[in-house]
Amino acid sequence: MPESLDTPENSNYCFAMLTQKISRPGTSKVKTLLRTFLLLTAIWLSVAPLGGCSKKNDTPLFEESNRKSGEADPPVKDVPVDILSTQRAFSNVSKKVTPSVVNISTVSRKKVIQPFFEANPFFEDFFGGPQTRQNKSLGSGFLISKDGYIVTNDHVVRDAESIQVKLSNDKVYDAKVVGGDQKTDIAVIKINAADLPTAVLGDSDKLEVGQWAIAIGNPFGLDRTMTVGVISATGRSNMGIETYENFIQTDASINPGNSGGPLLNVYGEVVGINTAIVAAGQGIGFAIPVNMAKPVFAQLMAKGSVSRGYMGVTIQPITEELAKSFGLKQAKGALINDIITGGPADKAGVKQGDVITGLNGIEVKDPSHLQRLVAEAGIGKIVKMSIFRDGKALELSVTLASAENAPRQRQKVDRGGNHQEGEADLLGLIVENSDQDDGVVVIDALRGGAAAESGIKRGDVIVSINRSRIANTTEYARMLQQAGRTGSLTVLVRRGDASIYFALRIK
C-alpha cells in the first residue's frame, strides 16, 4: 500500500482495490456500482480530516518551544542574564521563606447595635441580654522559633475567642495569644509544635528607597501569595494608624489578609511586618520595620507585655512660625510645652519652652519621632538630649523611668474671677484674672482676630508671653504692649491637661 493517498495514482489504487472486493459473481452491474459509491462515500467522510487512508498527517496542531523538547524556537532567544538572575532570586525567596509563613484565622464575637431598641429598658428582658454576632477574620504571620512562636499584628488577633494557624504543609493548630501591644500593633501567638521552619530577621535600618520588596501572606484567604515591588519610602510617621509609627512604605501589593505577614528583601530576610494599606490608593502599603518590632516581641515573649521609657514632658510640633519665634533655623524638633514635676526631665533641669533637637546623637524630626526614640531607649537608660534654649545649644543627661510609673496628669481646675471690661485687645481676646494667680483666662476670642486664627479659644489659660510668666491681667497687658512693638509674640496656653505654644503676629 502506498504511504499516502494524496496523489491521483494512490487514489486509483484505492478505488481499484475496493472495486475488486465489491464486485462478486452473480451481482448485477448496477448494484455493484451503487455499493461502490456508498462505500467510497463513507470512507471519504471518515478519513478526509486525516488527509489520507493509511497514515496520519505529520503537521502538528500547534507549535511548541524546543525549550520543552519541541521544534519551534522561543519568540525571544536572548533574555538578559540580569533578568533571569532576578527571576531566580524571587523564586528562591519563595521556596526558602514560604514554609515559615502561616495563615491565621480568628473567630470573635461583637455586640450587635440596635439603634431603635438599645435605649429601651425592656429590650434585654425580651431578648435576653446584649445581642452578639460571630465575626471571622483572616491574617498572616511568620514563625520566629522552632517551638511555635509566631509574630503577627495585634489587630489580627485582638479580642479573638479562638485562633487557628495553618502551616505550609496544610497542618492546622490551635493558637493562644502570648501578648499584644496596641501602640505598635504587634502581637505574638503560640502553637504547640516542634522542629518548625523559622524566618530570618534582617536589618531594616539599612533599607534604601528603590530596593526590592517582597511580601508573602494570605490576602483574601489566598494561601501564601507572593507579591513583588520596591521600597517606596522609609520613616513614614504621623499617619494616624498607631501611637508609635516609623513605617516602611512599599508598592508590593498588600491586601486584606496580608496583615502580620513578612516584608522581605532579596536575601529572604524579614525587614518588616505588613500592617496597613491606603484604601483609596493603589500600590501604597505600610510595614513596621523589623528593628522597631524586635524589642517589642522580645518583651512579649518574655513577659507578655511591653514597658517603655518615660521622660516626663509633654511636647508639640515646631511650626514655621514657632521656629522663627524661638530663633530656630529649621522647623524641626519637639517643643516642650509642659513638664511633669518630679519626673526625669524635671530632675535633669529641662525647662518649659526648651526645644529638643536630638537624642543620643540622632536628630529629632518631630514629636512622634522623639516619642519613639524615648520608648525604644529603655527603662533606666541615661540618654543624652540636645536642647535649644534662648538661642543656645545645650546638652543634658536624662535617666529614663518607666512609663507605667508615670504620675497622673493634674486635674482640671475650675477658674473664676471678674470679667475684664472693655473691648478686645490687640490679639482679639477678652481675658480675666485666674483665681490661682497663674495666668489669665480667655473668656472670648473674636472671630478674625490673631489669637482666634492661630487656634486660641475660649476657656484657654494664657500663662506666658514670649516665655515670660504672667500672673494677672495687669502683667498680661504690659507684656502684650511690649510685644506689640515687634509685631509678633509667642503665647503659652494651658488647655485642660495640656499646654500648647502658639506663634501670633499682631495685625
| Positions marked active-site | 155, 185, 259
CB environment 295-307: b (16+ within 10 A), e (fewer): ebbebbbeeeebe
Rounded CA gap, 288 and 236, in Å? Answer: 10
Measured in whole angstroms, the distance separating CA 203 from the mean position of its chain's CA atoms is: 18
The CB-side HSE value for 378 (13 A sphere, CA atoms) comes to: 7
- Residue 128 φ then ψ, to 5°: 75, 45
C-alpha cell, 368: 512622634
Strand partners of residue 436: none
Measure the CA angle with vertex 278, ends 272 and 280; round to 5°: 160
Q: Are 167 and 146 in contact (CB under 8 A)?
A: no
**Which 3-state string (H, E, C) describes 173-212?**
EEEEEEEEECCCCEEEEECCCCCCCCCCECCHHHCCCCCE
Rounded CA gap, 32 and 28, in Å? Answer: 6
Rounded CA gap, 376 and 371, in Å? Answer: 9
List Cα–Cα distances, 200 to 3, 45, 134, 197, 473, in angstroms. 66, 67, 36, 10, 64
